[in-house]
């Protein structure tokens, strides 16, 4: 009877091709005849991709209108410097021109500059358990929300935290000034502007049988900078109130950079003259000016843009492809000069 292996021999792998790593493998021979054509080919591919994507991005139309302190909005801008005027309603009207028709779906954004939503302390200042509809967290918010967890009277804030407290609350009404004295209100779809998972999974209102949303939020307070409680964010649509309000959901998804834009509405192309998009001509936008920007030296914009399969007017990827193509081409030319000078047989390599 054979004795069992012991000691180091017991840990030795079996003498098989797989365990001893003797499987057949292909190892490419890197020569100038194989490497140099590959470099030139990759430079050509990156160049073509860069040009194609650049032409694709340029087909996207975008209009940006800064209204921070433009025209009559300068009066509202100065008024918002004083926090005591927060309850005073201030509106202003801004005119702009669309030089060519924005065809297809047109998306309306509001833009902010120099607003850092990516600060760690700011991003942590929220209670996801409260926003998902847990009744316990509605009455007792997370400590991460401090100092926006309770108000001066000790009432819990819903929604709590700095992110919800700083929600962008300017509102817009767009009008198309047609020929003569005709004036058309630009119809905007204000639903469907948030991510599906956010609207239907991540954000839910607390549910209590036989109680309305107003009664559910009873005993809570709105954030300090809010002008109305969460259950009255949209008086026209009761299904767009509380934590499932789409403007709130869009704002709660923090931006990665200090200059960003967030979706406000989508052009409704049901009736004339907007069936084919946004016609060229003169436009006006009536702004309810609420959001102050003096504290962080920011700017506010209205952004109108079209989209294609590639997205919005972002030229980073096309330019990255073009730069990569140039770098690969320079490397290929350098390797070609070295190979040509010292010979493919390598006899002159000792001169390096």
Q: What is the pLDDT of residue 14?
A: 84
Strand partners, 304: 63, 108
In which element (H, E) is residue 243 found? Answer: none
Q: What is the pLDDT of residue 288?
A: 94
CA distance 64 to 299: 12
User: Contact, 98 vs 278, CB < 8 A?
Assistant: yes
User: Contact, 49 vs 57, CB < 8 A?
Assistant: no
Q: What is the pLDDT of residue 6?
A: 62
- State the first-to-last Cα distance of the chain, in angstroms, to the nearest integer: 66
DSSP β-ladder status, 91-98 and 260-267: unpaired
User: Contact, 313 vs 49, CB < 8 A?
Assistant: no
CA distance 328 to 334: 10
User: Contact, 175 vs 284, CB < 8 A?
Assistant: yes
Per residue of the chain (352 residues), give pLDDT as tens. 555 556 666 778 888 888 888 888 887 787 888 889 999 999 999 999 999 999 999 888 999 999 999 888 999 998 888 876 777 889 999 999 999 899 989 999 999 999 999 999 999 999 999 999 998 999 899 999 999 999 999 899 999 999 999 999 999 999 999 777 788 999 999 999 999 999 999 999 998 888 888 889 999 999 998 988 999 988 888 889 999 999 999 999 999 999 999 999 999 998 888 999 999 999 999 999 999 998 899 999 999 999 888 888 888 999 999 999 999 999 999 999 988 887 656 555 445 4
CA distance 177 to 175: 6
Strand partners, 281: 98
Q: What is the pLDDT of residue 303?
A: 95
Pair of tokens at residue 44: 């050509």
Q: What is the pLDDT of residue 340?
A: 86
Q: What is the pLDDT of residue 244?
A: 93
- Which residues, including other chains, have CB under 8 Å from residue 253's CB and lie 6 or more apart? 194, 195, 198
Q: What is the pLDDT of residue 84?
A: 66
CA distance 128 to 268: 33
* Predicted TM-score of the model (pTM): 0.81
């Amino acid at each position: 009877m054979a004795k069992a292996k012991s000691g180091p021999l017991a840990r030795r792998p079996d003498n098989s091709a797989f365990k001893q790593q003797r499987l057949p493998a292909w190892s490419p021979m890197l020569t100038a005849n194989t490497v140099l054509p590959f470099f030139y080919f990759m430079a050509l591919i990156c160049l073509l991709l860069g040009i194609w994507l650049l032409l694709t991005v340029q087909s996207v139309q975008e209009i940006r209108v800064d209204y921070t302190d433009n025209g009559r909005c300068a009066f509202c801008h100065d008024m918002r410097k004083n926090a005591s005027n927060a309850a005073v309603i201030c509106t202003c009207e801004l005119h702009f021109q669309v030089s060519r028709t924005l065809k297809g779906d047109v998306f309306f954004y509001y833009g902010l500059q120099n607003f850092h939503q990516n600060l760690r302390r700011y991003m942590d200042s929220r209670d996801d358990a409260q926003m998902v509809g847990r009744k316990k967290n509605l009455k007792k918010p997370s400590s991460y929300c401090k100092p926006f967890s309770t108000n001066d009277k000790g009432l819990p804030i819903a929604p709590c935290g700095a992110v919800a407290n700083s929600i962008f609350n300017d509102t817009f009404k767009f009008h198309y000034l047609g020929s003569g004295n005709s004036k058309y209100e630009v119809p905007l779809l204000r639903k469907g502007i948030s991510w599906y998972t956010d609207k239907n999974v991540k954000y839910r209102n607390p549910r209590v049988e036989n109680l309305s949303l107003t009664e559910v939020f009873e005993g809570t307070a709105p954030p300090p900078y809010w002008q109305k409680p969460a259950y009255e964010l949209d008086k026209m649509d009761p299904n767009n109130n509380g934590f499932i309000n789409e403007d709130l959901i869009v704002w709660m998804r923090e931006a990665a950079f200090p200059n960003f834009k967030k979706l406000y509405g989508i052009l409704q192309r049901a009736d004339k003259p907007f069936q084919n998009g946004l016609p060229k001509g003169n436009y006006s936008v009536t702004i309810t000016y609420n959001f102050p920007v003096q504290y962080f030296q920011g700017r506010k914009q209205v952004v109108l843009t079209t989209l294609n399969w590639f997205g919005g007017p972002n030229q980073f990827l096309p330019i990255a492809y073009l730069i990569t193509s140039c770098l690969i081409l320079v490397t290929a030319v350098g390797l070609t000069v070295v190979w040509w000078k010292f010979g493919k047989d390598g006899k002159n390599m000792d001169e390096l």
